[in-house]
Amino acid sequence: MQNRDQSEAELTLVTRSDPGHEHEAALIERIRSGESELFYQLIRPYERRVFVIAFTILRNEADAEDAAQDAFLKAFKYLGQFRSEARFSTWLIQVAINEARLRLRKSHLEIMRPIADQENDDGTYTPRDFTDWREIPSEALERKEIREKLVEALGSLAQKYREVFVLRDVEHMSIEDAALALGISAGAVKTRLLRARLMLRDLLSPGLGGVWTGHSQIPKGTKPWS
Amino acid sequence: MVVKCEDVWREISNYFEGDLDPALKLAMEEHFVQCTGCQSVRDGMRNVIELYGEIEMFTLPAGFHPRLRGRLSDQVEGRKISRRAWLVSVGVTGALAASAICAAALDRFAPRPLSEMSQPARRLPERLVAIVDGGKKFHVPGCPFMHGKYRMVTPEEAVREGYTPCIRCMRDALRSAGGVTPDFEGEERASSATAEE
């Protein structure tokens, strides 16, 4: 927490002095003034990120693509409401999260929402495995199936943990930006991030038959932390 | 200060965020020396953060760009394209094509990264960086994502040897250097634009 003021100061500094940010702000002004053809240029750097967060929530490629497209259209429609003291990317992610959550609520997937999604963040999480996992086998990083295992493990987490983990550890957003995008406090982001990281560690660690031993799978439908 | 295993488990994520009181951080490091269980938790969490941070897990579906572009053209830009818009789009396309050609030419002469999953360095710090023989990343000394004994080299030397920047500690180092934006996002942008053109 003691670093938070410093981080916020850095964030402000970056936002003010970032030439990319200034270029983006100028682009937004031109779009607001009627040059709507520039909108694609504005959003293009964030296409992948918007799709990733929609996929994280919906877990279906086609739905995620539709949600991403709708999010971009909404961003255009409500660009007038964007306040330039925030990062455009953070605001856009916020729009995408809202769009994906809305779709999820409307779909039958809501019925199948894991029980863990409805849990609160209270209580501590106790690691289950203490096998030595000091080294990542370097060749493992190059293996194609590792990616599938990582996606599978991430997909087995509850939505609120997936969202935080993807924003911070996959998309490398700051804690503050992730909190802003998700509409929760920085403290809640940290708590969920801790749980997500510990759960993934347990799911992937060698002692629980993680990806490194090569002979065991993460059993479908199991939630080792529940 | 003395900490118990439960304290370590509660604070281990903040340990990797660099968001700990120095006294608590020191106490945790002393605890790690004598507790193999917490060492395992620390090493496992570090591996999780590194793995998910490095591997390109999600790819856009085939045809994503044209479908999005088509929908935006219909609903945002309008079907009628003005002469000015046409000139802008030709200009942008030309600039992107030129940058793609330049990037491809530069790539031919760029050192090959030791890790195929990593982005090469596009901006470098002005001070020396730490590398570990057999590793793939260069770091700021003391980075919790660095294993084993390290040696200090210039950033240029590290890049020549195929090392790529640690996305955690180097981001902070570039940010605190001032005047240089730690624009990993922008690098991602540039590389994806190049790849997609």
Strands B164-165 and B137-139: parallel
Plot region of B148 (φ>0 → left; ψ -120 to 50 → alpha; else → beta): left
pLDDT score of B194:
37
> CA–CA separation, B142 vs A42, rounded Å?
38
> CA–CA separation, A34 vs B100, rounded Å?
29
pLDDT tens per residue across span A6-32: 444 343 333 444 556 778 888 999 999
In a 10 Å sphere around its CB, with 0-12 CB exposed, 13-18 middle and 19+ buried, how is residue B96 labelled? middle
Closest by Cα among A77, A37, A31, A27 to B82: A37
A73 shares its domain with A137? no
Which of the listed residues A110, A145, A180 is the one where a domain comes to its end? A110
pLDDT score of A221:
40
> CA–CA separation, A217 vs A124, rounded Å?
26
For residue B182, name the pLDDT band (cuts at 50, 70, 90).
very low
User: Is B47 in contact with B145 (CB distance < 8 Å)?
Assistant: no
B130, pLDDT greater than 80: yes
Q: What is the mean pLDDT of chain A?
A: 78
A127, pLDDT greater than 90: no
For residue B110, name the pLDDT band (cuts at 50, 70, 90).
low
> CA–CA separation, A33 vs A26, rounded Å?
11
For residue B160, name the pLDDT band (cuts at 50, 70, 90).
confident
pLDDT score of B166:
84
Residue B46, both tokens: 């570090």
Please give the biggest Cα pair distance in chain A.
60
Helices then strands, each counted (H, E), chain B? 8, 4
B10 shares its domain with B39? yes
Asked if residue B174 is part of any domain, the answer here is yes
Residue-range definition of the domain harbouring residue A26: 4-110
What is the value of pTM for the model shown?
0.66
Asked if residue B80 is part of any domain, the answer here is yes
> CA–CA separation, A52 vs B10, rounded Å?
29
Asked whether the beta carbons of residue A51 and residue B6 sit closer than 8 angstroms, the reply is no
Beta strands in chain B, from DSSP E residues, in sequence order: 129-131, 137-139, 151-153, 164-165
Number of domains in chain A: 2
Q: What is the mean pLDDT of residues B88-117?
A: 70
**Considering only CB atoms, which chain A residues are within 8 Å of B167?**
172
* DSSP code, position B73: I
> CA–CA separation, A5 vs A7, rounded Å?
5
More confident residue, B171 or B196: B171
Asked if residue B188 is part of any domain, the answer here is no
pLDDT score of B191:
38
Task: Indicate the residue type of A47.
Answer: E
> CA–CA separation, A108 vs A104, rounded Å?
8
pLDDT score of A100:
95
List the CATH number of the domain containing A134.
1.10.10.10
A73 shares its domain with A139? no
Cβ-based neighbours of B36, under 8 Å, separated by 6 or more:
A130, A132
pLDDT score of A99:
95
Q: What is the mean pLDDT of chain B?
A: 77
Q: What is the mean pLDDT of residues A48-72?
A: 94
Number of domains in chain B: 3
A22 shares its domain with A100? yes
Residue A10, both tokens: 């850095």
Q: What is the mean pLDDT of residues B119-128?
A: 73
**Considering only CB atoms, which chain B residues are within 8 Å of A135?**
147
pLDDT score of A134:
67
User: Is A109 in contact with A57 (CB distance < 8 Å)?
Assistant: no
pLDDT score of A5:
44
For residue A93, the distance in angstroms to the closest alpha carbon of chain B comes to: 14
> CA–CA separation, B158 vs A184, rounded Å?
40
Asked whether the beta carbons of residue B17 and residue A190 sit closer than 8 angstroms, the reply is yes
For the complex shown, is ipTM > 0.90? no
B44 shares its domain with B76? no
The answer, for B145 touching chain A at a CB cutoff of 8 Å, is no
Residue-range definition of the domain harbouring residue B15: 5-54
For residue B96, name the pLDDT band (cuts at 50, 70, 90).
confident
- Of chain A, the percentage scoring pLDDT greater than 70 comes to 70
pLDDT score of A30:
92
B40 shares its domain with B74? no
pLDDT score of B75:
80
Residue A112, both tokens: 């199948």
**Considering only CB atoms, which chain B residues are within 8 Å of A2?**
19, 21
More confident residue, B191 or A173: A173
> CA–CA separation, A50 vs A91, rounded Å?
11
HSE of B89, CA atoms in CB hemisphere, 13 A? 15
Asked whether the beta carbons of residue B19 and residue A73 sit closer than 8 angstroms, the reply is no
- Owner of token pair 């963040």: A121
Asked if residue A188 is part of any domain, the answer here is yes
Asked if residue B189 is part of any domain, the answer here is no
User: Is B196 in contact with A48 (CB distance < 8 Å)?
Assistant: no
For residue A110, name the pLDDT band (cuts at 50, 70, 90).
low
The answer for A 127-166 residues in CB contact with B (under 8 A) is 127, 129-136, 138, 141-142, 146-147, 150-151, 154, 165
Q: What is the mean pLDDT of residues B153-166?
A: 87
A35 shares its domain with A103? yes
pLDDT score of A14:
39
pLDDT score of A87:
87
Closest by Cα among B149, B116, B118, B115 to B132: B149
For residue A102, the distance in angstroms to the closest alpha carbon of chain B comes to: 20
User: Is A61 in contact with A174 (CB distance < 8 Å)?
Assistant: no
pLDDT score of A8:
41
A11 shares its domain with A69? yes
Asked if residue A75 is part of any domain, the answer here is yes
Asked whether the beta carbons of residue B40 and residue A133 sit closer than 8 angstroms, the reply is yes
pLDDT score of A192:
96
pLDDT tens per residue across span A193-211: 999 999 999 888 765 555 5
B133 shares its domain with B152? yes
